[in-house]
Structure 1
Amino acid sequence: MLSNSSAIADPSVEAALCALEAGLVQVSKVRTDALSSRDRLTALTRLEAVARTLPGLGLGLVAQLREQWSVEDFGRAGVSDVLADTLRISPAEARARYRAADDLAPRTSTSGTAIEPVMAATAAAQRDGAIGPAHVQILREFFHHIPACVDFATRTRAEVELAQHARMMRPDKLRQVADRVDAILNPDGNFTDADRQRRRGFTMGRQGPDLMSKCTVIADPELRAYLEAICAKYAKPGACNPEDANPQVDDEPDPDAVRRDSRSAGQRQHDAVKAVLRATLASGDLGQHRGLPVTVVVSMGLAELEAAAAQATRAADPYGERVTFGRPVVTGGGSLLPIRDALRMAAHAHHYLALFDNADGRPIYLGRAKRIATADQRIILHAKDIGCTYPGCAKPGYLCQTHHRNEWADGGTTDADQLTFVCEPHHRMAGTRGSDWTTAAAPPGHPKAGRTQWIPPAHVDPHRTRRMNSFHHPGEYLTPDSEFGGGLQEFVQYRCSTTAFDGKPATG
């Protein structure tokens, strides 16, 4: 059965949605065994048209929500936040629909007059079920990448013509036509500063299973000039080589260092940028961010630190390096860092150290090596919460604000055990009204006593079930007390600790 949690006050809209849902249920129950292949293809075509039409209808609702948004209905949460939580879609998908509504949904003027969508021809083709999401993406990318020198009338004509082609073409063929039209509109490749600034970007991809990240850079001429200067010095053979016992950074690499260097050009450039960023952080010239010096914050429990010290062993490999085992720790930026790298980074600079008792998470030591901190409580939150505590949020501590779990307006105190990390968008969603999310500490006796729990408003969850975020505490996944299973993490750690570096089980 389709989910139908609540009725709509307008009887015509309610009747139309009920008919749609009933029709889908009926279609899902029909048997197609006796159909001919031609009829099956016809049925697929009609289903595809329906599936293509629905997103356009949804964008119209998104646009209306945005135009008539009221904090009285949904609290201080934004449209994208409410869409993500209520529809159970990712925040990225919610933001994508929000932006798509700018191009493809009708708008209303201040006088109440209906205005055609910005990309009217594309929106019409979507409403007709003639084009799918891939077509729409190509058309929107084309429209937004047209150089600023192209006048409005030409831009509109190009969008109309491409939308007509999209009604008859596959997305891959449409992409070829769009590229050809782009070349016609700008045959000489003339781009203004505004065009270049619009295209610039740096995207840091997600970490893979090996904790490596793929980054994509579209550099403007100025950034490229900086990178060229950095690589000219620090990416030369023999410089900044992490395989050397004492990597040469400032001095000219000696012939032996150059001869030992087996890195590729790409690896040398990677190490050069890393060396410059490390030096910049260590310089102290970056000021402060949210009350703390700009630096790398690594959060680990006493158990991780003791295990790393106990399991540091000399591996039987050709280099005789000391290899440290243990599960990764979490940085203030939300990434996972191998504990071996964390200990090596600590050798360069000791900024802050916060250790927590393994039994109840109570802070037992807070040290400051370089200067007296004015944000001790925030340091504790970096170690306790690590990142935003809102359920499912991946925002790291660097991007979080401190929040009173018991609202300040209700007499909440600014004590370390009463504060929690919340990113700015989710901080706006917390409050005391019925449409707001509320926060509380997990009570004594709870498996994670003291951790922050979020209680959703009734429009998100009628039962107002308490929720907790485990994203920043990866050690809680796949553990014996996990609600989804248990013991797998311990099994993997056991296998890793009893496996030699050649992949064969260790003996003795």
Structure 2
Amino acid sequence: MSVDRPFLAAEVARARVGADLDVIDAALTRLRETSTDMVGNAFRVEMTDRLETQLRVTGGLSYRMFAELADPPDGEDRPVTRPGVKLRDVLARRLRIVPAEVGRRFKVAARITARRSLTGTPLPPELPALADAVEAGAVGEGHIKEVCDAIDALPAAAAQHKDRAERTLVRHARKQDAAFVATVGRRLADTLNPDGLFDDRDRMNRRSMTLDRQGPDGLSRLSGWITPEGRAYVEAVQAAVRPGHHLPGAEQTVVDAVTDTRTRPQRLHDAVVWGLRTATESGNLGAHRGVPVTVIATVTVDQMEQAARAMADPDVPMPAPARTGGGSSLPMRDLIRMAGNGFHYLTVFDGHSERPIYLGRSTRIATADQRIVCHARDKGCTRPDCTAGGYDCEVHHTPDWYPDGATDADTLHFACPPDHKLLSDGHASTTVTPEGRLAWTIGDDPPEINHIHHDHELLDDDVGDGEEA
């Protein structure tokens, strides 16, 4: 069971925790400095076992801190963030982890730590058996994930067996690896729901799609669960992309089926791409933040010239990929082929000044054009270190917009909604650099521009930490 922690005054608790962490730091320093060349493998296995347990215990303590940060039992006695800055962003920068990981830890912490009712009455953790195992260092991150996934996968018809299922899963997690726990989870689902009863609520809760990051070859893994309705649409499009039909890059819509060497999974991929392209080019998807839903890409003059030479001369290498509004890389050959179909926005930049010199589009809409320039120049949120892509950003007016003020592309820059609010609330200020980039000043920090969306700046040794704009 969870340890019953006696109440301590704030100063006493801070002093004790600080002293204990100092002891741990000192012990770890001694361990790093101690040679283990002659201890033997039996001792190394024992040491590895103990270190793994200690790692899990500290992980449990970290979850406790996340839970208390989310809902401080003592109230917020002093602010830990600047006005307008979210705690999640502070933790992401302080711990050097992505915001999604911060969110994941908050979610796990909420399930394995004690809770409070709306009236303040203490409540046990949602998953008490798992909470005890985490606190004891008996389970790791893989176990936690599989236990939670198995519990969440139980249908509404088996909800009354949730506590029993949790105890069973945790019992095995204390003795076996995470893969074994996943197997137990599947067996429990079969046992507790032998008739396979799932209702619409179960299906809607489980529906999901995940688009992973691009690999070095530009490919991205797409996985998830689609509803029966979604499957029906996929099946219809897949049927149209039968052998000999809709080959990528083919000049003809239909070719001899015998010459079509695509596998069934490859045809399914091409069917999904064809369906999405057809929907995008239809013009019926409306607008997103004032711009018709379409593909947006940015290149430089040098890239375009080199791509033209490469198309004519196989010995000339293709330039670096273009950057899309979502922040992904798009090979130049793909971009050139896609641009031929229309309904795509293409902005060409001067490679030296980084200012837009050409904007090609299928339909001219003044405010949309200005937003496309932001896509091209900023590529995403301009706040330093923010990774939000252009599709997820709003347009910020610099200087601040007034009803009768001019709206020119040079005075518009991207900011994601949370960071835009930071500016609107007066918790940060901005200035435009001579190169047309937006530099941010937050608190007493010097003005900075965001390098994360500009690959050449990330690779430039002259761009250092805390560089002023």
Query: TM-score over 0.5 for the alignment?
Result: yes
Equivalent residue number for residue 137 of structure 1: 145
For 1:132 and 1:372, the matched residues in 2 are separated by: 54
Cα distance change of structure 1 residues 315 and 376 upon mapping to structure 2, 3 Å threshold: closer
Equivalent residue number for residue 453 of structure 1: 439
Query: Is the partner of 2:158 in helix, strand or coil?
Result: coil
Alignment of 1:100-499 (within 5 A): 100-152=108-160, 154-233=161-240, 235-246=241-252, 248=253, 253=254, 257-315=256-314, 325-349=318-342, 351-366=344-359, 368-404=361-397, 415-430=408-423, 436=427, 438-442=429-433, 444=434, 449-455=435-441, 457=443, 464=445, 467-478=448-459
Give a deviation string over 1:471-505, Cα, whole Å, max 9, x none: 33224454575669xxxxxxxxxxxxxxxxxxxxx
Equivalent residue number for residue 498 of structure 1: none
For 1:219 and 1:91, the matched residues in 2 are separated by: 26
Between 9-18 and 376-385, report the one with greater CA deviation: 9-18
Between 43-52 and 115-124, report the one with greater CA deviation: 43-52
Equivalent residue number for residue 27 of structure 1: 31
Give a deviation string over 1:380-425, Cα, whole Å, max 9, x none: 101111122234443321111122455569x998543333212224
Equivalent residue number for residue 58 of structure 1: 62
RMSD, aligned CA: 3.1
CA deviation after TM superposition for structure 1 residue 159, in Å: 1.0
2:454 partner amino acid: H
Give a deviation string over 1:185-229, Cα, whole Å, max 9, x none: 112222222111222122222212221222113221111111111
1:61 partner amino acid: M
Cα distance change of structure 1 residues 428 and 479 upon mapping to structure 2, 3 Å threshold: same
Query: Is the partner of 2:198 in helix, strand or coil?
Result: coil
2:242 partner amino acid: K
CA deviation after TM superposition for structure 1 residue 288, in Å: 0.8
Query: Is the partner of 2:157 in helix, strand or coil?
Result: coil
Query: Is the partner of 1:297 in helix, strand or coil?
Result: strand
For 2:301 and 2:12, the matched residues in 1 are separated by: 54
Alignment of 1:89-100 (within 5 A): 89-100=97-108
Query: Is the partner of 2:209 in helix, strand or coil?
Result: strand
Cα distance change of structure 1 residues 437 and 55 upon mapping to structure 2, 3 Å threshold: farther
CA deviation after TM superposition for structure 1 residue 334, in Å: 1.5
Query: Is the partner of 1:217 in helix, strand or coil?
Result: strand
CA deviation after TM superposition for structure 1 residue 180, in Å: 2.4
CA deviation after TM superposition for structure 1 residue 36, in Å: 5.0
For 1:185 and 1:324, the matched residues in 2 are separated by: 59
Give a deviation string over 1:118-158, Cα, whole Å, max 9, x none: 11111111111111112211111111111111234x21122
Q: Are the aligned partners of 1:8 and 1:14 in contact in 2 as well (CA < 8 Å)?
A: no
2:57 partner amino acid: T
Q: What TM-score do you get using the length of structure 2 for normalisation?
A: 0.85
Query: Is the partner of 2:211 in helix, strand or coil?
Result: strand
Q: Are the aligned partners of 2:84 and 2:425 in contact in 1 as well (CA < 8 Å)?
A: no
Equivalent residue number for residue 502 of structure 1: none
1 or 2 for the larger relative contact order (CA 8 Å, sep ≥6)? 1
For 2:379 and 2:102, the matched residues in 1 are separated by: 25
Between 307-316 and 44-53, report the one with greater CA deviation: 307-316
Equivalent residue number for residue 80 of structure 1: 88
Query: Is the partner of 1:384 in helix, strand or coil?
Result: helix
Cα distance change of structure 1 residues 455 and 279 upon mapping to structure 2, 3 Å threshold: same
Q: What TM-score do you get using the length of structure 1 for normalisation?
A: 0.79
Gaps of 5+ in 1: 1-6, 317-322, 459-463, 485-508
Give a deviation string over 1:250-284, Cα, whole Å, max 9, x none: xxx4xx53333222222222222222222222221
Cα distance change of structure 1 residues 306 and 270 upon mapping to structure 2, 3 Å threshold: same
Q: Are the aligned partners of 2:295 and 2:325 in contact in 1 as well (CA < 8 Å)?
A: yes
1:313 partner amino acid: A
Give a deviation string over 1:449-479, Cα, whole Å, max 9, x none: 4323344557xxxxx3654433332244545
For 1:225 and 1:36, the matched residues in 2 are separated by: 61
For 2:19 and 2:12, the matched residues in 1 are separated by: 9
2:439 partner amino acid: Q
Q: Percent identity?
A: 39
Query: Is the partner of 1:149 in helix, strand or coil?
Result: helix
